[in-house]
Structure 1
Protein backbone atom coordinates (compact mmCIF):
# COMPACT_ATOMS: atom_id res chain seq x y z
CA UNK A 1 0.00 0.00 0.00
CA UNK A 2 2.80 2.41 0.85
CA UNK A 3 4.47 2.31 -2.65
CA UNK A 4 1.20 3.36 -4.36
CA UNK A 5 0.96 6.65 -2.46
CA UNK A 6 3.91 8.32 -4.30
CA UNK A 7 2.51 7.06 -7.62
CA UNK A 8 -0.85 8.62 -6.79
CA UNK A 9 0.81 11.95 -5.86
CA UNK A 10 2.84 11.94 -9.10
CA UNK A 11 -0.30 11.15 -11.11
CA UNK A 12 -2.25 13.97 -9.46
CA UNK A 13 0.63 16.40 -9.99
CA UNK A 14 0.87 15.39 -13.66
CA UNK A 15 -2.89 15.80 -14.15
CA UNK A 16 -2.85 19.21 -12.45
CA UNK A 17 0.09 20.28 -14.62
CA UNK A 18 -1.71 19.15 -17.76
CA UNK A 19 -4.85 21.01 -16.73
CA UNK A 20 -2.86 24.17 -16.00
CA UNK A 21 -0.99 23.97 -19.33
CA UNK A 22 -4.24 23.50 -21.25
CA UNK A 23 -5.98 26.41 -19.54
CA UNK A 24 -2.91 28.63 -20.00
CA UNK A 25 -3.09 28.06 -23.76
CA UNK A 26 -6.83 28.71 -24.02
CA UNK A 27 -7.70 32.31 -24.70
CA UNK A 28 -10.98 34.13 -24.71
CA UNK A 29 -11.19 37.16 -26.98
CA UNK A 30 -13.50 39.84 -25.63
CA UNK A 31 -12.16 43.26 -26.64
CA UNK A 32 -12.74 44.42 -30.22
CA UNK A 33 -9.92 46.65 -31.49
CA UNK A 34 -11.59 48.97 -34.05
CA UNK A 35 -8.32 50.75 -34.89
CA UNK A 36 -6.84 47.39 -36.01
CA UNK A 37 -10.04 46.27 -37.78
CA UNK A 38 -11.83 47.17 -40.99
CA UNK A 39 -15.19 46.78 -42.70
CA UNK A 40 -15.37 47.38 -46.44
CA UNK A 41 -17.88 46.61 -49.18
CA UNK A 42 -18.03 46.07 -52.95
CA UNK A 43 -20.94 46.77 -55.29
CA UNK A 44 -21.64 47.31 -58.98
CA UNK A 45 -22.78 50.65 -60.38
CA UNK A 46 -23.62 50.66 -64.11
CA UNK A 47 -21.63 47.44 -64.42
CA UNK A 48 -18.49 48.94 -62.87
CA UNK A 49 -17.05 47.55 -59.64
CA UNK A 50 -17.04 50.09 -56.80
CA UNK A 51 -15.74 49.97 -53.24
CA UNK A 52 -16.55 51.64 -49.96
CA UNK A 53 -15.58 51.54 -46.31
CA UNK A 54 -17.22 52.12 -42.94
CA UNK A 55 -14.81 54.08 -40.78
CA UNK A 56 -16.61 53.80 -37.42
CA UNK A 57 -17.98 50.71 -35.68
CA UNK A 58 -18.01 49.11 -32.27
CA UNK A 59 -18.85 45.76 -30.81
CA UNK A 60 -18.86 43.28 -27.98
CA UNK A 61 -17.74 39.72 -28.37
CA UNK A 62 -16.87 36.61 -26.47
CA UNK A 63 -14.94 33.93 -28.34
CA UNK A 64 -12.86 31.02 -27.08
CA UNK A 65 -11.66 28.77 -29.93
CA UNK A 66 -11.97 25.76 -27.63
CA UNK A 67 -15.65 26.51 -26.98
CA UNK A 68 -16.90 28.15 -30.20
CA UNK A 69 -20.48 27.03 -29.53
CA UNK A 70 -20.59 29.42 -26.54
CA UNK A 71 -19.37 32.42 -28.55
CA UNK A 72 -21.39 35.58 -29.05
CA UNK A 73 -20.94 38.81 -30.97
CA UNK A 74 -22.70 42.12 -31.41
CA UNK A 75 -21.37 44.57 -33.98
CA UNK A 76 -22.76 48.06 -34.62
CA UNK A 77 -21.70 50.08 -37.66
CA UNK A 78 -22.09 53.86 -37.76
CA UNK A 79 -23.74 54.31 -41.17
CA UNK A 80 -22.78 58.01 -41.31
CA UNK A 81 -19.13 56.88 -41.42
CA UNK A 82 -19.57 55.42 -44.92
CA UNK A 83 -16.96 56.54 -47.45
CA UNK A 84 -17.15 55.69 -51.16
CA UNK A 85 -14.34 58.14 -52.00
CA UNK A 86 -16.78 60.82 -53.22
CA UNK A 87 -18.16 63.50 -50.88
CA UNK A 88 -21.34 64.03 -52.92
CA UNK A 89 -22.08 60.29 -52.96
CA UNK A 90 -21.34 60.05 -49.22
CA UNK A 91 -23.88 62.83 -48.54
CA UNK A 92 -26.43 61.10 -50.80
CA UNK A 93 -26.01 57.81 -48.92
CA UNK A 94 -27.11 59.53 -45.69
CA UNK A 95 -30.49 60.55 -47.19
CA UNK A 96 -33.84 58.83 -46.63
CA UNK A 97 -33.54 57.14 -50.02
CA UNK A 98 -30.43 55.20 -48.99
CA UNK A 99 -29.39 54.71 -45.33
CA UNK A 100 -31.61 57.40 -43.77
CA UNK A 101 -28.98 57.96 -41.07
CA UNK A 102 -31.02 60.51 -39.07
CA UNK A 103 -33.67 57.83 -38.41
CA UNK A 104 -31.41 54.75 -38.56
CA UNK A 105 -27.88 55.77 -37.55
CA UNK A 106 -26.53 52.25 -37.07
CA UNK A 107 -26.55 48.85 -38.73
CA UNK A 108 -26.41 46.00 -36.22
CA UNK A 109 -25.41 42.35 -36.34
CA UNK A 110 -26.14 40.10 -33.36
CA UNK A 111 -25.10 36.46 -33.42
CA UNK A 112 -27.49 33.71 -32.41
CA UNK A 113 -25.13 30.73 -32.90
CA UNK A 114 -21.54 29.90 -33.79
CA UNK A 115 -20.46 26.54 -35.16
CA UNK A 116 -16.95 25.26 -35.81
CA UNK A 117 -16.59 23.76 -39.30
CA UNK A 118 -14.46 20.70 -40.17
CA UNK A 119 -11.58 22.85 -41.49
CA UNK A 120 -9.45 24.21 -38.63
CA UNK A 121 -10.09 27.89 -37.97
CA UNK A 122 -13.31 27.99 -40.05
CA UNK A 123 -16.63 28.91 -38.44
CA UNK A 124 -20.24 29.57 -39.38
CA UNK A 125 -21.86 32.44 -37.54
CA UNK A 126 -25.64 32.82 -37.72
CA UNK A 127 -27.30 35.99 -36.56
CA UNK A 128 -29.69 38.85 -37.15
CA UNK A 129 -28.60 41.73 -39.38
CA UNK A 130 -30.62 44.92 -38.96
CA UNK A 131 -30.27 47.80 -41.40
CA UNK A 132 -32.75 50.65 -41.73
CA UNK A 133 -35.24 48.88 -39.46
CA UNK A 134 -35.30 45.75 -41.63
CA UNK A 135 -34.14 42.47 -40.04
CA UNK A 136 -32.77 39.43 -41.84
CA UNK A 137 -31.26 36.21 -40.55
CA UNK A 138 -27.86 35.76 -42.16
CA UNK A 139 -25.15 33.10 -42.12
CA UNK A 140 -21.63 34.48 -42.09
CA UNK A 141 -18.64 32.27 -42.91
CA UNK A 142 -15.61 33.40 -40.89
CA UNK A 143 -11.98 32.39 -40.50
CA UNK A 144 -10.20 32.85 -37.17
CA UNK A 145 -6.44 33.08 -36.65
CA UNK A 146 -4.35 33.96 -33.63
CA UNK A 147 -1.50 36.43 -34.23
CA UNK A 148 0.75 37.95 -31.58
CA UNK A 149 -1.75 37.51 -28.74
CA UNK A 150 -4.68 38.83 -30.78
CA UNK A 151 -7.52 37.06 -32.52
CA UNK A 152 -8.36 38.02 -36.10
CA UNK A 153 -11.75 37.20 -37.63
CA UNK A 154 -12.02 37.51 -41.42
CA UNK A 155 -14.84 36.85 -43.83
CA UNK A 156 -17.36 38.22 -46.25
CA UNK A 157 -21.11 38.26 -46.61
CA UNK A 158 -23.25 39.06 -49.64
CA UNK A 159 -26.45 40.93 -48.86
CA UNK A 160 -29.20 42.22 -51.12
CA UNK A 161 -29.68 45.95 -50.59
CA UNK A 162 -33.33 45.68 -51.63
CA UNK A 163 -34.07 43.44 -48.62
CA UNK A 164 -33.06 46.36 -46.37
CA UNK A 165 -34.74 49.17 -48.39
CA UNK A 166 -31.34 50.63 -49.27
CA UNK A 167 -32.16 52.58 -52.40
CA UNK A 168 -35.81 53.62 -52.51
CA UNK A 169 -37.93 55.39 -55.11
CA UNK A 170 -36.16 55.58 -58.48
CA UNK A 171 -33.21 53.67 -56.98
CA UNK A 172 -35.35 50.65 -56.05
CA UNK A 173 -34.58 49.08 -59.44
CA UNK A 174 -31.25 47.34 -59.81
CA UNK A 175 -30.36 48.50 -63.33
CA UNK A 176 -27.97 51.27 -62.20
CA UNK A 177 -26.87 50.06 -58.76
CA UNK A 178 -26.86 46.25 -58.44
CA UNK A 179 -28.78 44.51 -55.67
CA UNK A 180 -25.81 42.49 -54.37
CA UNK A 181 -23.42 44.14 -51.93
CA UNK A 182 -20.45 42.14 -50.66
CA UNK A 183 -19.38 43.13 -47.16
CA UNK A 184 -15.80 42.21 -46.16
CA UNK A 185 -14.61 42.28 -42.58
CA UNK A 186 -11.37 41.87 -40.70
CA UNK A 187 -12.00 42.22 -36.98
CA UNK A 188 -9.16 42.12 -34.47
CA UNK A 189 -9.78 41.35 -30.79
CA UNK A 190 -7.75 40.93 -27.62
Structure 2
Protein backbone atom coordinates (compact mmCIF):
# COMPACT_ATOMS: atom_id res chain seq x y z
CA UNK A 1 0.00 0.00 0.00
CA UNK A 2 2.82 2.38 0.93
CA UNK A 3 4.56 1.79 -2.44
CA UNK A 4 1.31 2.45 -4.32
CA UNK A 5 0.88 5.81 -2.58
CA UNK A 6 4.49 6.81 -3.36
CA UNK A 7 4.10 5.79 -7.02
CA UNK A 8 0.83 7.75 -7.32
CA UNK A 9 2.49 10.80 -5.77
CA UNK A 10 5.40 10.61 -8.19
CA UNK A 11 3.03 10.32 -11.15
CA UNK A 12 1.08 13.35 -9.96
CA UNK A 13 4.23 15.42 -9.44
CA UNK A 14 6.00 14.52 -12.69
CA UNK A 15 3.48 13.89 -15.49
CA UNK A 16 5.96 15.10 -18.14
CA UNK A 17 8.47 12.40 -17.20
CA UNK A 18 5.97 9.71 -18.17
CA UNK A 19 4.49 11.40 -21.25
CA UNK A 20 4.06 9.15 -24.24
CA UNK A 21 5.49 10.01 -27.66
CA UNK A 22 3.15 12.30 -29.65
CA UNK A 23 2.16 11.57 -33.26
CA UNK A 24 1.61 14.48 -35.66
CA UNK A 25 0.21 14.70 -39.18
CA UNK A 26 1.83 17.42 -41.29
CA UNK A 27 -0.69 20.15 -42.14
CA UNK A 28 -0.44 20.30 -45.92
CA UNK A 29 -4.16 21.07 -46.37
CA UNK A 30 -3.83 24.42 -44.62
CA UNK A 31 -0.56 25.22 -46.41
CA UNK A 32 1.25 25.41 -43.07
CA UNK A 33 4.10 23.27 -44.32
CA UNK A 34 6.33 23.35 -47.37
CA UNK A 35 9.12 21.50 -49.15
CA UNK A 36 11.19 24.06 -51.05
CA UNK A 37 14.49 23.91 -52.87
CA UNK A 38 17.12 26.29 -54.10
CA UNK A 39 20.10 25.92 -56.40
CA UNK A 40 22.72 28.46 -57.34
CA UNK A 41 22.25 29.93 -60.82
CA UNK A 42 25.63 30.50 -62.51
CA UNK A 43 27.03 31.87 -59.27
CA UNK A 44 24.93 35.05 -59.62
CA UNK A 45 21.70 34.30 -57.78
CA UNK A 46 19.40 31.51 -56.57
CA UNK A 47 16.78 29.60 -58.50
CA UNK A 48 14.05 28.62 -56.07
CA UNK A 49 11.10 26.30 -56.26
CA UNK A 50 8.81 24.05 -54.29
CA UNK A 51 6.86 20.83 -54.39
CA UNK A 52 3.17 21.66 -54.11
CA UNK A 53 1.99 18.14 -53.24
CA UNK A 54 3.46 16.14 -50.38
CA UNK A 55 2.42 14.45 -47.16
CA UNK A 56 4.15 13.58 -43.94
CA UNK A 57 4.03 12.68 -40.31
CA UNK A 58 6.33 12.77 -37.33
CA UNK A 59 6.60 11.41 -33.82
CA UNK A 60 7.89 13.67 -31.05
CA UNK A 61 9.06 12.52 -27.63
CA UNK A 62 10.53 15.33 -25.57
CA UNK A 63 11.79 12.96 -22.87
CA UNK A 64 13.52 10.53 -25.24
CA UNK A 65 14.53 11.84 -28.69
CA UNK A 66 15.48 8.28 -29.71
CA UNK A 67 11.71 7.74 -30.11
CA UNK A 68 11.41 10.66 -32.55
CA UNK A 69 10.89 10.00 -36.26
CA UNK A 70 9.78 11.70 -39.45
CA UNK A 71 8.45 10.50 -42.82
CA UNK A 72 7.76 12.59 -45.91
CA UNK A 73 6.49 11.55 -49.35
CA UNK A 74 6.72 14.06 -52.21
CA UNK A 75 4.84 14.00 -55.50
CA UNK A 76 7.68 14.99 -57.84
CA UNK A 77 5.24 15.96 -60.62
CA UNK A 78 4.16 18.86 -58.38
CA UNK A 79 7.52 20.65 -58.83
CA UNK A 80 6.92 24.38 -59.31
CA UNK A 81 9.52 27.08 -60.06
CA UNK A 82 6.95 29.55 -61.42
CA UNK A 83 8.26 29.00 -64.97
CA UNK A 84 6.40 26.41 -67.08
CA UNK A 85 9.21 25.65 -69.56
CA UNK A 86 11.81 25.22 -66.83
CA UNK A 87 9.39 23.04 -64.83
CA UNK A 88 8.90 20.74 -67.85
CA UNK A 89 12.68 20.40 -68.18
CA UNK A 90 13.19 19.67 -64.48
CA UNK A 91 10.44 17.01 -64.65
CA UNK A 92 12.04 15.41 -67.74
CA UNK A 93 14.50 12.51 -67.80
CA UNK A 94 17.36 15.06 -67.69
CA UNK A 95 16.51 15.56 -64.02
CA UNK A 96 13.66 14.08 -61.93
CA UNK A 97 12.19 11.85 -64.68
CA UNK A 98 8.77 12.08 -63.02
CA UNK A 99 7.19 9.65 -65.50
CA UNK A 100 9.43 6.90 -64.13
CA UNK A 101 9.87 8.25 -60.57
CA UNK A 102 6.67 10.09 -59.54
CA UNK A 103 7.58 10.06 -55.84
CA UNK A 104 10.50 10.99 -53.64
CA UNK A 105 10.58 10.11 -49.96
CA UNK A 106 12.47 10.51 -46.73
CA UNK A 107 12.26 8.19 -43.73
CA UNK A 108 14.34 8.81 -40.64
CA UNK A 109 16.46 6.08 -39.09
CA UNK A 110 17.50 8.01 -35.97
CA UNK A 111 16.99 11.36 -34.25
CA UNK A 112 19.23 12.77 -31.52
CA UNK A 113 19.07 15.98 -29.52
CA UNK A 114 21.80 18.49 -30.39
CA UNK A 115 21.10 20.91 -27.54
CA UNK A 116 18.44 22.05 -25.08
CA UNK A 117 17.24 24.80 -27.44
CA UNK A 118 15.21 22.51 -29.71
CA UNK A 119 17.84 21.46 -32.25
CA UNK A 120 18.02 17.83 -33.37
CA UNK A 121 20.19 15.80 -35.74
CA UNK A 122 18.17 13.61 -38.09
CA UNK A 123 19.59 10.68 -40.01
CA UNK A 124 17.62 8.75 -42.58
CA UNK A 125 17.15 7.46 -46.08
CA UNK A 126 16.28 9.81 -48.94
CA UNK A 127 14.88 8.19 -52.07
CA UNK A 128 15.07 10.43 -55.13
CA UNK A 129 15.13 9.53 -58.83
CA UNK A 130 14.91 5.85 -57.86
CA UNK A 131 18.09 5.99 -55.76
CA UNK A 132 18.15 5.69 -51.96
CA UNK A 133 20.99 7.32 -50.04
CA UNK A 134 21.57 8.03 -46.36
CA UNK A 135 21.43 11.72 -45.46
CA UNK A 136 21.98 13.65 -42.25
CA UNK A 137 20.82 17.14 -41.33
CA UNK A 138 19.83 19.38 -38.44
CA UNK A 139 16.29 20.46 -37.67
CA UNK A 140 15.14 23.09 -35.23
CA UNK A 141 11.86 23.30 -33.41
CA UNK A 142 10.12 26.55 -34.34
CA UNK A 143 7.38 26.32 -31.72
CA UNK A 144 4.49 24.36 -30.22
CA UNK A 145 1.13 25.09 -28.62
CA UNK A 146 -2.64 25.18 -28.83
CA UNK A 147 -4.18 26.41 -32.07
CA UNK A 148 -7.41 28.47 -32.36
CA UNK A 149 -9.40 25.38 -33.42
CA UNK A 150 -8.82 23.29 -30.29
CA UNK A 151 -5.86 21.30 -31.59
CA UNK A 152 -2.20 21.20 -30.65
CA UNK A 153 0.53 21.97 -33.20
CA UNK A 154 4.30 21.63 -33.32
CA UNK A 155 6.61 22.94 -36.03
CA UNK A 156 10.15 22.24 -37.24
CA UNK A 157 12.43 23.48 -40.00
CA UNK A 158 15.57 22.06 -41.54
CA UNK A 159 17.66 21.89 -44.67
CA UNK A 160 19.10 18.90 -46.53
CA UNK A 161 22.12 19.54 -48.72
CA UNK A 162 22.34 17.11 -51.62
CA UNK A 163 24.13 16.57 -54.89
CA UNK A 164 21.81 15.51 -57.75
CA UNK A 165 24.67 13.50 -59.30
CA UNK A 166 24.62 11.23 -56.22
CA UNK A 167 21.05 10.31 -57.20
CA UNK A 168 21.82 9.60 -60.87
CA UNK A 169 20.93 13.05 -62.22
CA UNK A 170 24.00 13.99 -64.25
CA UNK A 171 22.77 16.89 -66.39
CA UNK A 172 25.58 19.45 -66.13
CA UNK A 173 24.51 22.95 -65.11
CA UNK A 174 28.01 23.95 -64.08
CA UNK A 175 29.84 23.74 -60.75
CA UNK A 176 27.73 26.39 -59.02
CA UNK A 177 24.62 24.21 -59.47
CA UNK A 178 26.20 20.94 -58.26
CA UNK A 179 24.48 21.24 -54.88
CA UNK A 180 20.74 21.58 -54.20
CA UNK A 181 19.38 22.72 -50.85
CA UNK A 182 16.08 21.09 -49.88
CA UNK A 183 14.33 23.24 -47.26
CA UNK A 184 11.70 21.53 -45.11
CA UNK A 185 9.12 23.40 -43.02
CA UNK A 186 6.78 21.07 -41.14
CA UNK A 187 3.85 22.12 -38.99
CA UNK A 188 2.11 19.10 -37.57
CA UNK A 189 -1.25 18.64 -35.86
CA UNK A 190 -1.16 16.25 -32.91
CA UNK A 191 -3.37 13.20 -33.42
- TM superposition score category, shorter chain reference: 0.7 to 0.9
Q: What is the CA–CA distance in structure 1 between the aligned matches of 2:4 and 2:164, rounded to whole Å? A: 64
Deviates more, 1:75-84 or 1:146-155: 146-155
Q: Which position in structure 2 is the counterpart of 1:109?
A: 106
Scaled by the length of structure 1, the TM-score of the pair is 0.83
Deviation at 1:124, TM superposition (A): 0.4
Deviates more, 1:60-69 or 1:108-117: 60-69
Name the one with the larger helix percent.
1
Q: 5+ unaligned residues in a row in structure 2: which ranges?
A: 147-151
Q: 5+ unaligned residues in a row in structure 1: which ranges?
A: none
Q: What is the CA–CA distance in structure 1 between the aligned matches of 2:103 and 2:16, rounded to whole Å? A: 42
Cα 1:17–1:129 change in 2 (3 A) is same
Which one has a bigger Cα radius of gyration? Answer: 1
Deviation at 1:59, TM superposition (A): 1.8
Q: What is the CA–CA distance in structure 2 between the aligned matches of 1:42 and 1:73, rounded to whole Å? A: 22
Deviation at 1:184, TM superposition (A): 1.0
Q: What is the CA–CA distance in structure 2 between the aligned matches of 1:105 and 1:9, rounded to whole Å? A: 56
2:10 maps to which of 8, 15, 19:
15
Cα 1:18–1:41 change in 2 (3 A) is same
Deviation at 1:179, TM superposition (A): 0.7
1:75 aligns with 2:78: no
Scaled by the length of structure 2, the TM-score of the pair is 0.83
Residue correspondences, number: 180
